Homo-oligomer: A and B are copies of this chain.
Amino acid sequence: MTMSNTGGRRKPPTIHDVAREAGVSRGTVSRVLNGGHYVSPAAAQAVDAAIRKTGYVVNRHARSLITGRSDSVGFLLTEPQERFFEDPNFNVLLRGCTQALAAHDVPLLLMLAGTDDERRRITRYITAGHVDGVLLVSSHSGDPVAEELRAAGVPLVACGKPIGMGSKVSYVAADDRDGARDMVRHLLALGRRRIGVVTGPLDTPGGVERLAGYREVLAEAGVEADERLVVSGDYSRASGEAGAERLLARAPDVDAVFVASDLMAQGVLTALHRAGRRVPEDVAVGGFDDSPAAVAASPELTTIRQPWDRISTEMVRVLLAQIGGEDPAAVILPTELVKRDST
């Protein structure tokens, strides 16, 4: 009677076992594993059968040791984590990336760079070649980690247009400017003319672009620009509330507000309600993001939806292409106006 292996882990079969089982050499098995070129149909079939019979799974460490690739990808978040981790869109992004990578059999390593210590560790880890590329979420400017990775030649795809880095870095972003244009056009179409804006942080490309879109449409519609109608926020709910109060004080005749995030728009609604303005009758409010906050608000927010599912799949596509040797690329995806009750 031999030892039972209950509870323990049995030594897994190697490529050698498969080769012996199939009656071919290691080289042939390896060729079958990697695309099957230069393999006779008979050999390929025998190898497939042997793999199924033995339950063989390639040892990625052995493979990586010789290929120099790790066949894995890092998902790096260098944003202040509270903000992003509370954003449901971040979840959609993370999930989308994980699934898109899984389809290529590439594991995703989650990396959070909160403290400087973590920042250093992660930079070392990545530049040491432990991952083949990095999906980067870091919308604030002058990120030292991103710059170091770029300098080290690590394939990199950012979520949102990174600023302060050369054009050598790939990114995938929603068309913020066009989304803002759509929203402001929508407000104009409702007959509003005194359209205010609560911007996002202006050290982020998103914040800048959304404001630019607002300005463009007003200019092309011949509506007089009034800087009293422009107040800035930081995407937080509180800053939306404060922004709306400032707006009401500076331009009491405002009849619409384009708010650069749904969370801020919630704050705007609160402030308007407190001031006795009805939404949308007195003031129409448009948000941005189509987050759960948009439907949780009352009235439900008209907003701009960013295609987060497509953003994630595009990020993965671009990154894998870049790992495969292609040049960096920029992808801009269209947004969509979602009409609800606040306009």
Please report A residues at the B interface, Cβ cutoff 8 Å: 7-9, 12, 57, 59-62, 64-65, 70, 72, 75, 81, 85-86, 88, 91-92, 94-95, 98-99, 102, 105, 107-112, 114, 118, 121-122, 124-125, 128-130, 152-154, 168, 292, 296
Contacts of A110 in B (CB 8 A): 75, 94, 98, 108-110
With A9-B129, A61-B61, A65-B65 as given contacts, are A86 and B95 in contact (CB-CB < 8 Å)? Answer: no
Give me 5 other A-B pairs in contact (C-beta within 8 A), A9-B153, A60-B61, A85-B91 excluded.
A9-B152, A61-B64, A107-B125, A108-B110, A110-B110
With A12-B129, A64-B61, A75-B110 as given contacts, are A121 and B94 in contact (CB-CB < 8 Å)? Answer: no
Nearest to A75 among chain B residues (CB) is: B110
Q: Which of B64, B108, B112, B292 contacts A102 (CB 8 A)?
A: B112
Q: Which of B57, B65, B85, B109 contacts A95 (CB 8 A)?
A: B85
Tell whether, in the assembled complex, residue A7 and residue B91 are in contact, meaning their CB atoms are under 8 Å apart: no
- Kindly report how many copies of this chain are found in the complex they form together: 2
Contacts of A7 in B (CB 8 A): 153, 168
CA distance A152 to B98 in the complex (A): 25
Tell whether, in the assembled complex, residue A86 and residue B292 are in contact, meaning their CB atoms are under 8 Å apart: yes
Tell whether, in the assembled complex, residue A112 and residue B95 are in contact, meaning their CB atoms are under 8 Å apart: yes
Contacts of A154 in B (CB 8 A): 9
Q: Which of B102, B111, B168 contacts A118 (CB 8 A)?
A: B102
CA distance A314 to B330 in the complex (A): 42
Contacts of A112 in B (CB 8 A): 95, 98-99, 102
Distance (whole angstroms) from the CB of A5 to the closest CB of chain B: 8
Tell whether, in the assembled complex, residue A60 and residue B130 are in contact, meaning their CB atoms are under 8 Å apart: yes
Contacts of A57 in B (CB 8 A): 124-125, 128
CA distance A62 to B81 in the complex (A): 33
CA distance A153 to B91 in the complex (A): 31
Nearest to A72 among chain B residues (CB) is: B109
Q: List 23 A-B contacts (CB under 8 A).
A: A7-B153, A8-B153, A9-B152, A12-B128, A57-B124, A57-B125, A57-B128, A59-B128, A60-B130, A61-B64, A72-B109, A85-B88, A85-B92, A86-B91, A86-B292, A95-B112, A99-B112, A99-B118, A102-B111, A102-B118, A102-B121, A105-B121, A107-B125
